[in-house]
């Protein structure tokens, strides 16, 4: 087995023969799914729908989409990113590759809406007041410039219609009142025993000494307004289509 793999790799290097996953049976996919849920889901989502790490369901892989690319990226991780290397046998890695592939079959369906109209709505609805999306925009919410590569369609829809449903820790809002009565509200960038570093909504970056706090509490709800009652179903579809079109491109840094 090991010998065969080396030969395959060597020939792939010369571009003569494509490396093919030798483990693609339904039981391999099931075994891969099991490993995925325990080792990958915390970042990529339970079924690869995306979360802290990109979704793996579109059939498009930024770091290479051949079997050999997937095998390499899963075995070695992706240097300079949060994607770790793993300690599974080669057979197990192939089973994971089989599972990851199974996530994209028929799943790369394009969104329903009209992305161009969605782009107009994005400005009209003042989403840019808080979000950056390839151009001008605010920093009161996440940068959405590559959100289409990171999240599933369902997630995007929910993020717009019910923003409170899943709020990442870095977007919890800290409210601080100091001894002299100054008030702050913003995202906590850093906190240690003595200081809180805050991205304050009106004052920008502030480093505040805790001993001067009279009040300090954290709200785990989103500052993003809910658009559930404001947007029509078509508006929501169009916005989702626009966000989906914001895919990561070669040369993008993160």
Closer of 203 and 214 to ligand HEC (Cβ) = 203
Cα dihedral 142, 146, 78, 48 in deg (nearest 10): 90
| Contact call for residues 164 and 225 (beta carbons, < 8 A) | no
- Rg (C-alpha) for the chain, rounded Å, is 22
> Between 164 and 209, whose beta carbon lies closer to ligand HEC?
164
Window 45-64: contact mask with ligand HEC (x via CB under 6 A) = -------xxx-x----xxx-
Nearer to ligand HEC, 10 or 82 (CB): 82
The token pair that represents 44 in the structure block = 């990529």
Q: Locate 37 and state its tokens.
A: 């849920």
Closest CA to 153 of 183, 96, 101, 113: 113
Rounded Cα–Cα distance for residues 72 and 79 (Å): 11
**What mask, x for binding ligand HEC by CB under 6 A, covers residues 9 to 38?**
---------------------------x--
Q: How far apart are CA 169 and CA 161, in angstroms?
A: 19
Site for ligand HEC in 76-135 (CB under 6 A): 78, 81-84, 86, 96, 100, 122, 125-127, 129-131
Out of 98, 103, 224, 236, the residue judged to bind ligand HEC by CB under 6 A: 224
Residue with tokens 């023969």: 17
Give contact residues for ligand HEC (rule: CB under 6 A).
Answer: 36, 39-40, 42-44, 52-54, 56, 61-63, 70, 73-74, 78, 81-84, 86, 96, 100, 122, 125-127, 129-131, 140-142, 144, 147, 151, 156, 159-160, 163, 167-168, 171, 222-225, 227, 239, 243, 254
């Amino acid at each position: 087995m090991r010998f065969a793999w080396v030969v395959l790799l060597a020939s792939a290097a010369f571009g003569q023969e494509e490396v093919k996953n030798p483990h693609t049976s339904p039981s391999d996919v099931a075994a891969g799914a099991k490993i995925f849920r325990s080792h990958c889901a915390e970042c990529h989502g339970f079924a690869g729908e995306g979360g802290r790490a990109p979704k793996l369901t579109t059939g498009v892989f930024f770091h290479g989409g051949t079997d050999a690319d997937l095998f390499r990226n899963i075995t070695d991780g992706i240097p300079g990113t949060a994607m770790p290397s793993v300690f599974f046998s080669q057979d197990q890695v192939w089973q994971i590759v089989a599972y990851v592939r199974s996530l994209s079959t028929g799943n790369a369906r394009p969104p329903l809406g009209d992305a161009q109209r969605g782009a107009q709505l994005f400005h009209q609805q003042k989403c840019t007041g808080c979000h950056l999306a390839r151009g001008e925009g605010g920093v009161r919410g996440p940068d959405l410039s590559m959100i289409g590569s990171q999240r599933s369609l369902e997630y995007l829809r929910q993020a717009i219609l019910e923003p409170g449903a899943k709020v990442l820790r870095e977007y919890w809002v800290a409210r601080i009142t100091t001894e002299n009565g100054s008030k702050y509200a913003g995202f906590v960038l850093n906190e240690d025993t003595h200081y809180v570093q805050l991205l304050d909504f009106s004052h920008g970056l502030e480093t505040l000494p805790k001993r001067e706090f009279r009040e300090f509490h954290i709200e785990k709800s989103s500052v993003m307004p809910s658009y559930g009652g404001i947007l029509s179903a078509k508006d929501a579809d169009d916005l989702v289509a626009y966000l989906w079109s914001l895919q990561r491109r070669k040369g993008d840094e993160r």
